[in-house]
A and B are shown apart, each in its own frame.
Chain A
């Protein structure tokens, strides 16, 4: 059991990032990772990676809290890169209209162009992942719900999202309790057991977890109805703070970066910065 893998929850870490609105952080995440996917200019991507790593540092999110997720993402990234190389080893050369072989020969020769393309793809990951983590870990779910509602999403959906985030720690705790009691019964779910054994073992945990989650959903929906959730078309929010200076500043910086990206698109004459043609 790796308990650290479940620490993905909001906690006030006392930085300006916690005070910024959830909607702002969501927009910043979407726009910055979006532009990083469009503008494949290595210089621009390195700038964005540095920026998002600095912001992650500022957010005071500890590596131990996110290590599991980062390992998972790195794993998928490597698979992604390998697949690109296996399926399209000549894609870089095609993109950059040139071919400088570093070593090897034949179709799987590694070219500088392919390498640059793969570096760009990895950089995209390093832009998006820290930003996503910052958004997830510094955003108070209820505040986020009110933010979503403000940008026009129905309050029932907004609240459902925040409730889901709110129950992550509870369900996690329950999962651990059930899993341990199953282990005590002799249900081996560690790596020692074979695949099918583990699969059956997992089912034995999921059944009680599902049943108790259904119980929980039932009581929560009763509690919500008894307090008139859904009675009116609109609702107000305890965390209904207006966008603050910090939000406008963040959005302004995001806008500047977007403009920078668009300028690069024009200067580079397309999505790709091509250092190979002089």
Chain B
């Protein structure tokens, strides 16, 4: 009997007019590893909610067809009974942290089962050990890294002894190295405890490392593919539905390699090395000359900066320069000073000593508001920035507060809305927009103040490929056509590789590397130190015995041609 079965499932949320799932059928067997992938709004999360019982408990709607978990019809089980069968790790690891400390959070489920105190302590202890959390068991959630938080979430649901483990976008909030570690850990646990693992994720390059048994592709509420990853990748359906396929496959395709003949695309070493090598080398020779614009003048300069929090020093004699017209990516693991850096530049925090110069002028005497006219800062979560109901008002807000005259406000806002592709939506309520559109509204509302530098914090975190493209192409066009200098803080190696002119690795308050993105991504030692990970292009370059830097840059160039 299969672990999870869907038979002709249709589902419509009560609050929506259109059905989200159409005639979905599949069966997952015990002990399998399954990846469910699809673009935003494809229905993949809905499938997850149907498996773990959040539908209909939290999201009511109309369901027909049959869903069986452990051979039991879920319509006869409530969420509590279902949670014995399926253990769910939610995407937002912060939100699911219910306990005050790690140990309490891990024991939360056992507490709710009213298990006697001795057994509770014993079991909690067991799972703390199993997930390597003993050393942090008395820590608060704020003191943990992303990877640790995720391990806590896993321990907290595995204690139910469920055999089916469901992950909702496990990689979204992790830095690349932590993402790899998470995939490895899931794989180990799966083997050791003989679990059925279902991962909902759109980042295939990283997720496929788990060596899944099945890759299910969902698009517009329908199952488009349900087969071994090898066969799904071979069919080319991944890029057709707007997902990003692993980079090495894109490179192979561009080099003219025929993927449809290969049986084991997930395993690079199964390919004909000689042929791959030849194709890739030829492709690299077609490289158009690297035409990097020279960096402009010095625009932002940080000199001898010192900053520490009450208990922790972050920057000691920190120096960094930015040049006009560049897109600079700042990467590095969580807690290495990236947010502190942006808070110092925007004036949210005050440095202990040292100075920050903008265009030769010291920023020290300027208020947060005055700095914002020069350096626009866009927070990661658009919901933290938006305070007006209507798109136009939201973008106009900063100008109104600066008491610009209404006529000028109108022209300036319309101009920015046109650049942002939002002009036709200017009378819409902000709440009707998608995440990507909201993000654009927040960028527009900062842009309207005409800053020379745009500072973006994780602009694409948790976004699927289409949203990612739309946000970043917009940012790149600002850079290209309006000469806005861009500083992006990111975990996304693809973003850095594809859009940045310059990459900075910031680790523990120090700049470890300052180079072209492709160069930085080829330095394995550095990547390890910065909690980053090489992309699959690196492996392809090794396999075909070419320079990984050249290969990365060639791929970016070919994508830009499109």
List residues of A whose CB falls within 8 A of some B CB.
140-142, 162-163, 166, 169-170, 174, 177-178, 180-188, 203-205, 207-208, 211-212, 215-216, 218-232, 234-240
Contacts and interface: CB of A to CB of B under 8 A. Distances in A.
26 contacts: A169-B142, A180-B346, A180-B368, A181-B377, A183-B369, A184-B348, A185-B369, A185-B397, A185-B398, A186-B372, A208-B387, A212-B381, A212-B383, A219-B92, A220-B95, A221-B58, A223-B97, A224-B108, A226-B90, A227-B108, A228-B112, A229-B108, A230-B112, A235-B111, A235-B114, A236-B120
Given A186-B402, A225-B57, A231-B112, A181 B385 contact: yes
Contact of A188 (B100, B112, B157, B401): B401
Contacts of A237: 111, 117
A219 B96 CA distance: 7
Interface residues of B, number: 63
B369 A184 contact: yes
B10 interface: no
Interface in B94-131: 94-101, 103-104, 107-117, 120-121, 124
A162 B369 contact: no
B220 interface: no
Contacts of A186: 369, 372, 398, 401-402, 449
A166 B100 CA distance: 6
Nearest to B399: A186
B410 to A, nearest CB: 18
Nearest to B80: A231
Task: Summarize A's interface: helix, strand, loop or mixed.
Answer: helix
Contacts of A236: 110-111, 113-117, 120
B387 A227 contact: no
A226 B112 contact: no
Contact of A184 (B98, B121, B371, B388): B371
Contacts of A141: 100
A186 B402 CA distance: 6
A85 to B, nearest CB: 42
Given A226-B90, A230-B112, A235-B114, A188 B369 contact: yes
A141 B484 CA distance: 48
A142 B112 contact: no
Nearest to A176: B348
B526 interface: no
A222 B157 CA distance: 13
A227 B109 contact: yes
B107 A238 contact: yes
A177 B379 contact: yes
B386 interface: yes
A174 B449 CA distance: 24
B384 A174 contact: yes
Given A142-B100, A238-B124, 19 more contacts: A166-B100, A178-B385, A181-B379, A185-B398, A205-B387, A208-B385, A208-B386, A208-B387, A212-B383, A222-B96, A223-B95, A225-B58, A226-B79, A226-B90, A228-B83, A229-B112, A232-B112, A236-B115, A238-B120
B351 interface: no
Nearest to A220: B95
B72 to A, nearest CB: 17
A172 to B, nearest CB: 11
Nearest to A166: B100
B54 interface: yes
Listed from nearest, the 7 A-B pairs whose CB atoms lie closest are: A219-B95, A223-B96, A186-B401, A184-B372, A231-B80, A204-B387, A227-B109
Interface hub of A207, A234, A238 (most chain B Cβ within 10 A): A238
Given A219-B95, A223-B96, A238-B107, A181 B384 contact: yes
A63 to B, nearest CB: 15
Given A226-B52, A228-B80, A228-B83, A177 B384 contact: yes
Contacts of B372: 184-186
Contact of A162 (B100, B368, B385, B387): B100
Contacts of B114: 232, 234-236
B156 interface: yes
A216 B95 contact: yes
Contact of A212 (B58, B111, B377, B384): B384
Contact of B384 (A183, A208, A229, A234): A208
Contacts of B383: 208, 211-212, 215
B445 interface: yes
A165 B90 CA distance: 23
Contacts of B142: 169-170
A262 B158 CA distance: 55
A142 B379 CA distance: 32
A180 B387 contact: no
Nearest to A224: B98
Contacts of B437: none
B286 to A, nearest CB: 46
A215 B90 CA distance: 14
A186 B445 CA distance: 12
